[in-house]
Chains A and B, each alone.
Chain A
Amino acid sequence: MTRARKLGVVVALAAAIVALGLGQAALGAAARTHAVTAPRFEVDPMWPKPLPNHWVLGNVIGVGVDSKDHIFIVHRNDTFDARHEIGAAANPPISECCVPAPPVIEFDQAGNVVNAWGGPGHGYDWPSSNHGISLDDKDNVWIGGNGTCPPPGTPGCPAGTIDSFILKFTHDGKFLMEIGTPHETVNSNSTTHFGRVAKISFDVKANEAFIADGYGNKRVAVIDMDNGKIKRFWGAYGHVPSDSNLGPYDPNAPLAQQFRNPVHCAEPTPDGLVYVCDRVNDRIQVFRKSGEFVREKIIKPLTRGDGSVWDIAFSRDPQQKYIFLADGKNERVYVLDRQSLDLLTEFGDGGRQPGEFFAVHSIATDSKGNIYTAETYEGKRIQKFVYKGMSTVDSIQGVVWPKR
């Protein structure tokens, strides 16, 4: 072995040890595993069925479930490498595969595509970057957008403006309403528009929609579901929101008194609470529906960059006993007890195989308790995790494959 090579090995080894040390520090308590009782899941490797027409998915950026347990996704159908991914869409075609699927796709329980729609149309703006999909009690479809202008070649999108509106469609894609003045700028105290909305959720009894607002704004906004009027809004801890730049998240700094961007979910529950994903601050904040702060829970606080709290869904029992939390940075789904907010168990890992994740972005449950996850960036997938009942599981489960 030459001197140079020896040195190379030593350097590589040292780097590996440092990386491992830091990694283990980051893992913290998570490195110790123990048995817990929690809902158990197994990935369904054959869900959904292969898409027709050589369609492929781009960044999958939202998932929702309707009253018949049909699964809706929204994906960005302009997030492809034109030369290598969508050759059949080129003019002339350069290959047999593939073609971008329409932005909104509806799957039945068996995983068949039963409808596909979306994109720019007459009478409304389509976001320059669609984001989040939710179905209300009437099975209407709500879509946000987290884009900034101008994305290349988008008409009607003045430079320096943002996606500042929400779209409401019927179940089958007929346009119903556009809420918020389009093409505005960031303003977390606006009562007329939004700031790059991540997701919409509903309190149907009160006829209110809760807006995770968003990638530009740093607030939760509550609107009337019929007329779209902004009724109230608030920032972290229930403060008046501020648009001042907080800089990057630092695990060693005191807790931020404002949300960071993005505010990525705002999920009301029938017992009067709202759970908010303060993604980059690695925390869930809980409020009453009035905006009064109740408590917060920090999740994996050493997580930098994109943060740990991406999206949440509730278990479908009447008490909504569990929270399922998608963490697209650490590539996990966490199961929390909703009352205590204790982390019970986690499953998943990084990778491209079934049950693994690359940037698991959105999460939803169906009436049978199954979980659906959507992956953005180059994950570009939707996956189903079948509910297997309550069980004794490890606190760190890894990839949850079916038994051979």
Chain B
Amino acid sequence: MIRRGILFGGTLLSVLASSATAQRAGRGASGRTAPRFEVDLLWPQPMPNRWILGSATGVAVDQSDHVFVVHLTDSFTPRTEIGLATNPVTGECCAPAPNVLEFDPAGTLVGQWGGPGQVSHWPEQNAGLAIDDAGNVWIGGSGGADSRILKLTHDGKLIAEFGTATPVLSGRGAGRSEDTAYAGVSPGRGGRGAGRGRGGRAEVPALPANSNSMDSFGGPAGFSFDAKANEAYVADGYRNHRVAVIDMTTGAIKRYWGAYGGKPNDADTAKYEPGGAFPKQFGAPVMCAKLARDGLLYVCDTQNDRIQVFRKDGSFVKEKTVAPATRGTGSVWDIAFSRDLQQKYVYVADGMNMKVHVLDRQSLDELTSFGDGGRQPGEFYAVHSIATDSKGNIYTVETYEGKRVQKFVYKGLGPIAKKNEGVLWPAAPRTKP
């Protein structure tokens, strides 16, 4: 465990400190250790041009540990939030930042691009950004009519669009799914709605699910890649109830499957109830499909509070619930793997319970969790997506009115103190004796 800690990539100092702590504490009450994190209070740097972030719906890290964020640039209330971008201008602040933002490891904004003005057929609601081994950027969409995947260069030039615009409308049933990308309409206070509008976005009637389509997607939500096989795994999606595997060059759908590896059935809309039977289908959205190095695929069945694990061919391996009492949108929004060779840990972003769960990847047992609801550093409002960098740091983005990207600095392995670590602030500076 201690040797593995060194491989894990923390600084020598923190590893020594944590292993010493682990030995003293007998590895905690549970006898187990887990990666430890602290929120970086001052990451990223404030953006230039009085830009602000909208509901953030995707995060990924490239080979140089640059952090890419995609957000909804129309998720603002014009009257209260973006006075610099209205006509007439009503104030000095603020203006929506471009759709895709690239931060360097220091948190400085070093790139920005995207949006319908720059790329035609930009999704109605961009969501689920991923970066492949060649450094290309993949973007899906959660909009009611989003049925395509965009593949772009690192700096935003369109390489390919996969999926037809108007799918064959043969599916039935599911209709509009839970909109995890943006639903920041507070019924709250009698329609006054100050600061909580939908940014003037028109409600677009959703296309029906079509989980057996061979040429379109149903709100693609997330991607991961098998570079050797030149295959991308698509979490499909906000309307569909499947995983689709496509050729990374042509976009052709090679195979797909539903929950337990079966054929998806959009007519079966059985919903998960805590304590009840597991639905035989994925709910909508299917928000992630993440391929581990050992060939196992981890799928976020968000609304059903579960992760399902498959082999690359779609054969079902196992499932595990996370926070199974969760209703509403569900608990499993996105996952990222730890960056050790074995990818020993799974980090689950849970936008309903406002926390990140830390699981052992082999057993899928929950070791601990961190975070809580709120607007301060290390707190969350609807943590939507999660990614790790080569040093083991975690990045999270928040949708709805969270509208943030946060960094959690990897602090080495340590004993598990609590089932829920709460808000992970750095220790207050100690006065030297």
Residue A4 at the chain B interface, CB threshold 8 Å: yes
Does B203 touch A at the CB level, under 8 Å?
no
Q: Does A81 contact B (CB under 8 A)?
A: yes
Tell me the B275-312 residues at the A interface (CB within 8 Å).
none
Q: Are A351 and B53 in contact (CB under 8 A)?
A: yes
Contact status A350-B52, CB under 8 Å: yes
Give the distance to chain B from A48, nearest Cβ to Cβ, in Å. 8
Q: In residues 296-326 of chain A, which contact B (Cβ within 8 Å)?
A: 300, 302-306, 308
> B194 and A84: CB pair below 8 A?
no
Q: Contacts A79-B189, A351-B46 given: A359-B80 contact, CB under 8 Å? A: yes
Question: B187 and A95: CB pair below 8 A?
Answer: no
Q: Which residue of B lies closest to A76 (CB)?
A: B189
A96 within 8 A of B: yes
Does A97 reach chain B (CB closer than 8 Å)? yes
Residues of A within 8 A of B381 (CB): 84-85
Contact partner of A329 (CB less than 8 A), chosen from B47, B77, B85, B90, is B90
B91 at the A/B interface (Cβ < 8 Å)?
A: yes
Specify which chain B residues have a CB less than 8 angstroms from the CB of A59 in the assembled complex. 195
Chain B residues, Cβ within 8 Å of A377: 77, 80-81, 194-196
Tell me whether A30 and B92 are in contact in the complex, defined as CB-CB below 8 angstroms, given that A97-B355, A352-B375 are known contacts.
yes
Q: Which residues of chain A are within 8 angstroms of B93 by Cβ–Cβ distance? A: 329-332, 349-350
Given A81-B196, A349-B93: A12 and B117 interface contact (C-beta under 8 Å): yes
**What residues on A are CB-neighbors of B94 within 8 Å?**
331, 349-351
- Residues B90 and A84 in contact, CB atoms below 8 Å apart: no
A356 within 8 A of B: yes
* Residue with the highest number of chain A CB atoms closer than 10 Å, among B50, B91, B379: B91
Does B188 have its Cβ within 8 Å of any Cβ on chain A? yes
The proximity string for B residues 85-111 relative to A, scoring 1 for CB distances below 8 Å and 0 otherwise, is 101111111110000000000000000
Is the interface on chain A under 10, 10 to 19, 20 to 34, or 35 or more residues? Answer: 35 or more
A22-B89, A350-B94, A401-B42 as given contacts; A96 in contact with B376, CB under 8 Å: no
Q: Given B85, B88, B352, B374, which contacts A51 in the complex, CB threshold below 8 Å?
A: B374
Q: Looking across the interface, which residue of chain B has its beta carbon closest to that of A101?
A: B374
Which of A50, A81, A332, A379 contacts B423 (CB under 8 A)?
A: A50
Query: What chain B residues lie within 8 Å of A26 (beta carbons)?
Result: 84, 89, 91-92
Question: A150 to chain B: which residues have CB within 8 Å?
Answer: 190
From B23-31, B143-151, B397-405, the one touching the partner chain is B397-405
Query: Could you tell me the distance in whole angstroms from the C-beta of B158 to the nearest C-beta in chain A?
Result: 9
Q: Is the CB of B53 within 8 A of A46?
A: no
B400 near A81 with CB under 8 A, answer yes
Q: Which residue of A lies closest to B398 (CB)?
A: A352
Which residue of chain B has the shortest Cβ distance to A26 in the bound complex? B89
Within 8 Å of chain A (Cβ to Cβ): is B173?
Answer: no
Q: In the complex, what residue of chain B is closest to A58 when comparing beta carbons?
A: B188
Q: CB of B10 within 8 A of chain A?
A: no
CA distance A11 to B194 in the complex (A): 30
B9 interface residue (CB < 8 Å to A)? no
Q: Is A399 an interface residue, CB under 8 A from the partner?
A: yes
- Is B120's CB within 8 Å of the partner chain A? yes
Asked whether, in the complex, the Cβ of B375 is within 8 Å of the Cβ of A81, the reply is: no
Q: Does B251 contact A (CB under 8 A)?
A: no
A306: B residues at CB distance < 8 A: 79-80, 91
Closest to B375 in A: A381
Contact B81 A358 (CB under 8 A): yes
Interface assignment of A102: CB less than 8 Å from any CB of chain B = no
Tell me if A276 is interfacial: C-beta within 8 Å of chain B: no
- A84 touching B50 in the complex, CB below 8 Å, given contacts A78-B188, A92-B327, A94-B327: no
Find out whether the CB atom of B373 lies under 8 angstroms from the CB atom of A19.
no
Cross-chain contact B46 with A94 (CB below 8 angstroms): no
Selected contact of B377 from candidates A9, A45, A349, CB within 8 Å: A45
C-alpha gap A353/B103 in the complex (Å): 15
A35 close to chain B: CB less than 8 A: no
Using CB atoms, name the residue of chain B closest to A47: B376
**Of B130-138, B178-186, B231-239, B257-265, the one with at least 4 CB within 8 A of chain A:** B178-186
Q: List 10 A-B contacts (CB under 8 A).
A: A19-B95, A50-B423, A81-B183, A84-B400, A87-B353, A93-B327, A95-B354, A303-B90, A331-B93, A353-B377
Please report A residues at the B interface, Cβ cutoff 8 Å. Answer: 2, 4-5, 8-9, 11-13, 18-19, 22-23, 25-27, 30, 45-46, 48, 50-51, 54, 56-57, 59, 76, 78-85, 87, 92-98, 129, 150-152, 300, 302-306, 308, 329-332, 349-356, 358-359, 376-381, 398-399, 401-402, 404
Nearest 10 Cβ contacts at the A-B interface? A377-B195, A12-B117, A98-B373, A350-B94, A94-B327, A97-B373, A304-B90, A45-B41, A94-B328, A350-B93
Residues of B that sit less than 8 Å from A by CB: 41-42, 44, 46-47, 50, 52-53, 77, 79-81, 83-85, 87-95, 115-118, 120, 183-190, 194-196, 323, 325-329, 331, 351-355, 372-379, 381-382, 400-404, 422-423, 425, 428
Known: A84-B328, A94-B327. 14 other contacts (CB 8 A): A12-B115, A23-B84, A26-B84, A45-B41, A87-B327, A87-B328, A96-B354, A302-B89, A305-B90, A332-B93, A349-B46, A351-B47, A376-B194, A381-B375
